[in-house]
Copies of this chain bind each other. A is one copy, B any other.
Amino acid sequence: MTTLEIMRRAREASRAVAAASGDVKNCALLAMADSLEVSTPAILRANENDVKKAKGTVSDVMLDRLTLTAARITAMANGIRDVVMLPDPVGRVLDEHVREDGLSIRKISVPLGVVAIIYESRPNVTSDAAALAIKSGNAAILRSGKEAHESAAAITKALQTGLRAAGLPEDAVLLVEDTSRESANELMRGVGYIDLLIPRGGRGLIRACVENATVPCIETGTGICHIYVDGAADFDKALSIVENAKTSRPSVCNAAEVCLIDEKIVDTFLPLLEERLTAHEPPVELRMDERCLALSKRGVPASETDFDTEFLDYKMAVAAVSGVRAATEHIARHSTGHSEAIVTEDGEAAAYFTAAVDSAAVYVNASTRFTDGGEFGLGCEMGISTQKLHARGPMGLRELTTYKYVVVGNGHIR
């Protein structure tokens, strides 16, 4: 099928999903989960082909992400079943206003329509994204990375069987067949077919979407996250927060990349931080500005780009700043607007920081690693938005809806 044909079919199918009741959508999700498990042998065969082709061309981490097992497929199915338990985001009355003349104006949440997701090689994204789209009343167009295409096709086929069993059109979840860059471009420019495009991937993909997309697009997942250790910080909290934010999972977007230290405490705090992070296994490489470097035993000089780099690795840029105000100014210049934290016992500094920092999540005395749909109580997430329009931070089911005004009169004219 051409990508244009896929967009046409998804648009058509989106009407049926939008009209489906919460019960019908939940039945479909349960059938999708069951079908996924029943299809385990077929999915594993397809995945074997993907893995065989990918071997030698991608890193071991990538290869591990790509590889499916029966247990992983069951986990995917259970992920869909978890979505069933979440409240229906559609049909909520967001606002209600009855005018004096009796005209009733209700603002009601409705599905967006067709949501397209461009992602990379993790096969579980195929089922996660499809489940969130269906639950929120949308049709999904999925464009998997080339490396995972056979797996994604087998997963999609299983999900479609589930949709059909519940009486929903199987076109409500469609996988783009063309894995060349051209199909991504077609999605980006699918005005009239696509209501929201979510690129989930590296900086190159996000930038391509910003540059080329004519459909509404939400940027996700680039995180140059900062932790500012204030002069009034509790050092124990600061050390464990920086360590956790940097090392608990360095490859994810909510991991910290930069530590800013108040110059009032830099000479006492930096040696402790250095001890803590170089004792970590594996040790963290600290890339320091001049001020810190002079106080350091094992730091290396930061290059010009280190304060603008998402390392996604056991590396951290470290600089001294002249207080909370300077910290927020540094953050305004270098942050991607994802998550930033202050560690302080000074309420005024905390208030200044949370007000002045313009990021999706701003933390006081907590690790940036909490920026996540599950941790925030949304139950799931489609990605983490780093833009300000429509959705900011973790995107749950509500962020996959829009609203309309339903206005009921009795012959009202203006």
Contacts and interface: CB of A to CB of B under 8 A. Distances in A.
A334 interface: no
A276 interface: no
Contacts of A191: 210
A297 interface: no
A371 B412 CA distance: 13
Query: Is the contact region of chain A dominated by helix, strand, or loop, or is it mixed?
Result: mixed
B405 A388 contact: no
A371 to B, nearest CB: 8
Contacts of A363: 407-409
Given A360-B404, A361-B407, A216 B389 contact: yes
A365 B411 contact: yes
A211 to B, nearest CB: 6
B210 A407 contact: no
Interface residues of A, number: 67
Contacts of A375: 414
A402 B377 contact: no
Contacts of A244: 413-414
A117 to B, nearest CB: 15
Interface stretch (A120-128, A278-286, A350-358): A350-358
Contact of A364 (B241, B245, B409): B409
A388 B358 contact: no
A236 interface: yes
Interface pairs A-B: 10 shortest CB-CB: A366-B409, A244-B413, A237-B411, A390-B390, A366-B412, A388-B402, A216-B389, A369-B414, A361-B405, A389-B390
Interface of A: 15, 18-19, 97, 99, 103, 105, 110, 112-113, 191, 195-196, 210-211, 214, 216, 218, 234, 236-237, 240-241, 243-245, 248, 332, 350, 354-356, 358-367, 369-371, 375-377, 387-390, 392-393, 402-414
